[in-house]
Amino acid sequence: MSRGQYPSTRMRRNRNRAFSRRLVAENRLDTADLIWPLFVIEGHDMAEPVAAMPGVFRYSIDRLLQQ
């Protein structure tokens, strides 16, 4: 069995530039990347709890603008 020559140049991405490093970097999720949903209901001066999400409320538009 004959072994071939190992390539003298390995075709890798050039990682010496910031753009290339960001391209191959690990993904990172931070709390600043998350979005808090707002639930809106029709009416005036209203707030009603969302049963499936304790501590979360549906607000009327005027109440959202106050917050």
Look at residue 36 in the predicted model and tell me its pLDDT: 84
DSSP state of 32: G
pTM greater than 0.85 (yes/no): no
In angstroms, the CA 40 to CA 67 distance is: 13
Q: What pLDDT does residue 41 have?
A: 96
**27, 58, 63: which is closest to 44 by C-alpha?**
63
Cβ atoms 59, 37 nearer than 8 A: no
Write the pLDDT tens digit of every residue in 4-60. 677 677 666 566 778 877 777 778 888 988 998 899 999 999 999 999 999 999 999
* Mean pLDDT of the chain, nearest integer: 84
Whats the size of the chain, residue-wise? 67
- pLDDT value, residue 11: 66
Enumerate residues 6+ apart whose C-beta is below 8 A from 65: none
